Amino acid sequence: MAYGIRLHVWGERACFTRPEMKAERVSYDVITPSAARGILEAIHWKPALRWVIDRIYVLHEIRFDTVRRNEVESKISASNIKSAMKGAKTMAHQIITEERQQRATTLLRGPAYIIEAHFELTSQAGDTDTPEKHYNMFLRRARQGQCFHRPYLGCREFAAYFAHLDPECEIPASYYKDAEEVDLGWMLWDMDYTRDMEPAFFRPIMRQGVIEVPDLLKEGG
Amino acid sequence: MSNEKIFQPIQKRYDFTVFFDVTNGNPNGDPDAGNMPRMDAETGHGIVTDVCLKRKVRNYVEIVKGADTGHGIYVTEGAVLNEQHRRAYVSIRGDEEAKAQELKPKDKSEAHILTQWMCSNFYDVRAFGAVMTTKVNCGQVKGPVQFTFARSVDPIFPSEITITRQAVTQEGQEKEREMGRKHIVPYAIYRMNGFISAHLASKTNFTDEDLSLLWDSIVNMFEHDRSASRGEMTVRKLIIFEHESPLGQAPAHQLFDRISVEKAQKDADQPARSYQDYVITIDQNQLPAGVSIIEK
């Protein structure tokens, strides 16, 4: 596996929402490959490349917590904006006091992972898009803590901190290093944007704290 | 600052930390716990959610800017005055439908126009982003400004205070007064870390002027949010790490680690009851090149 990278990510909280529990958000036990991809893309991405998550190391114990917040029930309606654009001086605002929903979020506490990934060039790669170039760009950014936007653990309020892990560095011991096999059930792998955002699922098995992630999308997305 | 610069999106990455404190008040009630101050049950630390603080920023901008063009607040509290009747929907395609909710922008370009219009008219959409009902990439605008949960520096000890009212709600009651409850935190200092991405700023056109308004609104967010339940809340320190480029020069966690909060020596074993009981220090030594610290 040429050009593999390892990124240590951690934060105070995380919520990798299960799609079947979206109203009262409940997080998966561990980070999904799609959220991990989002973190890498927050550091470096171009349409010319596709990040592929190979392995996820779960470092800390899986612990949950709940937070209930006031949320807005509706989204901005595009038609309202259109009529306002046509000259309505004021537009119908969202009035939070009338559209309030109290929703609980079941989130993860103190998550920490190591994401092992590589990238593939897509059909959009130009002549100047060499793997070396993008690999070095990512390394430079990850080492210096540079990012396109602050990566996050599932939701933007759960900011992620990250540090690059050099290949010769030892991987920190996982809380689950003695757990032979933990079946985490069916989990979202990622969205397939080539097929109208169809979700793809896989069955992660955590062995000694490590999850092997398959690549369900062999052709460049 | 020249006028031209004011209307350009910001060009730098910012990581910031806000310290605010509460005296005899409830900074953020927990609907799951009968409006007790939010707490981390395991550690006893107090929590104030990101959305709570965003609300304060929105309210401040609404007060300061009024209906100033370009500084509308989309997610408002309470009644909106002078709201015009919604005009009959006339779509760009020319058909009129009563059920406007069913319509979606035709394509990416139209969605983009709508999004840009929202960004240029509403400060909160420009700063925090918004989700619109479009099929195109969920129609999400990611705003450049990212807030996180604030956490108290030390565990909090909320107390419940029972109060009486010398009047009753309903007629014909035997009693002459009613009891009520208030939850307060005697004193606690909270810390919130936030981030601003220059790249996302260019997408919503979040300008330097917007940025200075954001700093003002953070510094003053509790000055116009007085109420019986809040007690005294004050923003004590806003520490901004300004990078010289959009990508930044240093990992955020290393910058945040430069800020330490200690109990003052004289009564370190006593529970804190005022801001003077804490000392906040910022390690200015060997700052990474290209990072500067701004305190407000």
pLDDT single digits (tens) A168-216: 888 999 999 998 899 999 999 998 877 777 889 999 999 999 999 998 8
Task: Band the pLDDT of A22: cuts 50, 70, 90.
Answer: confident
Helix, coil or strand: residue A210: strand
pLDDT at B78: 60
Q: Which two tokens stand for residue A185?
A: 């059930």
- Other CB atoms within 10 Å distance of the CB of residue A115: 25
Mark which residues 182-221 of A lie under 8 Å from B by CB: none
**pLDDT tens-place string over residues A7-21:** 999 999 999 999 999
| Cα–Cα distance for residue pair A82/A76, rounded to 1 Å | 11
One digit per residue, the tens of pLDDT, for chain B of length 296 reads: 445 556 789 999 999 999 999 999 999 999 998 899 999 988 999 999 999 999 999 999 988 887 667 888 887 766 443 333 233 233 333 333 333 344 445 566 777 787 888 888 889 889 998 887 655 545 578 899 999 999 999 999 999 999 998 888 777 777 778 888 899 999 999 999 999 999 999 999 999 999 999 999 999 999 999 999 999 999 999 999 999 999 999 999 999 999 999 998 877 788 999 999 999 999 999 999 999 999 98
* Inter-residue contact B93 to B43 (CB < 8 Å): no
DSSP helix/strand/coil, A204 = coil
Q: What is the CA radius of gyration of chain A?
A: 20
What integer pLDDT is reported at residue A72 of this predicted model? 83
> Within 13 Å and on the Cβ side, how many CA atoms surround A145?
19
Residue B227: CB atoms within 10 Å: 9
Task: Give CA separation, A163 vs A211, B16, B153, in Å.
Answer: 20, 19, 25
- B290 or A95, higher pLDDT: B290
pLDDT score at A1: 41
CB neighbours (10 Å) of residue B66? Answer: 9
Q: How far is A98 from chain B (nearest CA, A)?
A: 8
Q: Is A182 exposed, middle or buried, given 0-12, 13-18 or 19+ CB atoms closer than 10 A?
A: middle
The DSSP secondary-structure symbol of A206 reads E
Residue A161 has pLDDT above 70, yes or no: yes
Residue contact B114–A157, C-beta within 8 A: no
CB atoms B42 and A145 under 8 Å: no
Residue A96 forms contact with B (CB below 8 Å): yes
pLDDT in tens, A104-150: 999 999 999 999 999 998 888 888 888 889 999 999 999 999 999 99
Task: Determine contact: A140 vs chain B, CB below 8 A.
Answer: no
Compute the distance between CA of residue B78 and CA of residue A132 in angstroms, rounded to an integer: 55
Task: Please tell me the distance in Å from A107's CA to the nearest CA on chain B.
Answer: 12
Please answer whether residues B268 and B211 qualify as being in contact, where contact means their C-beta atoms are separated by less than 8 angstroms: no
Name the pairing type of β-strands A94-95 and B75-76: parallel
Q: Which residue of A has its CA nearest to B132?
A: A76
Q: Are A85 and B143 in contact (CB under 8 A)?
A: no
Q: How far is A95 from chain B (nearest CA, A)?
A: 5
Cβ(A178)–Cβ(A208) below 8 Å: yes
| Ordered DSSP codes for chain B | --HHHHTSBP-S-EEEEEEEEEEEE-SSEEGGGTTEEPB-TTT-EEEE-HHHHHHHHHHHHHHHHTT-TT-B-SEE-SPPTTPPPPPPPB-TTS-B-S-GGG---SSHHHHHHHHHHHHHHBHHHHHHEEEBS-SGGGGEEE-SEEE--EEEEEE---EEEEEEESS-SSTT-S-S-EEEEEEEEEEEEEEEEEEE-HHHHHHHT-BHHHHHHHHHHHHTTTTT---TTT-EEEEEEEEEEEESSSS-SS-HHHHHTTEEEEE-GGGTTSPP-SGGGEEEEE--TTPPTTEEEEE-
Whether residue A120 contacts residue A4, with contact meaning beta carbons closer than 8 Å, is answered with: no
Does the pLDDT of residue A220 top 50, yes or no?
no
Residue A78: strand, helix, or coil:
helix
- Contact B108/B134 with Cβ under 8 angstroms? no
Please give the pLDDT value at position B82. 33
pLDDT given for residue B1 in this prediction: 45
Min Cα distance B242 → chain A (Å) is 13
What is the structure's pLDDT at A90? Answer: 52
H or E stretch covering A202: strand A198-202
| pLDDT over 90 percentage in chain A | 62
Question: Using the beta-carbon criterion (under 8 Å), do A80 and B104 form an inter-chain contact?
Answer: no
Q: What's the CA gap between B150 and A104, in Å, rounded?
A: 18
- What is the rounded average pLDDT for all residues in chain A? 88
pTM of the model as a whole = 0.86
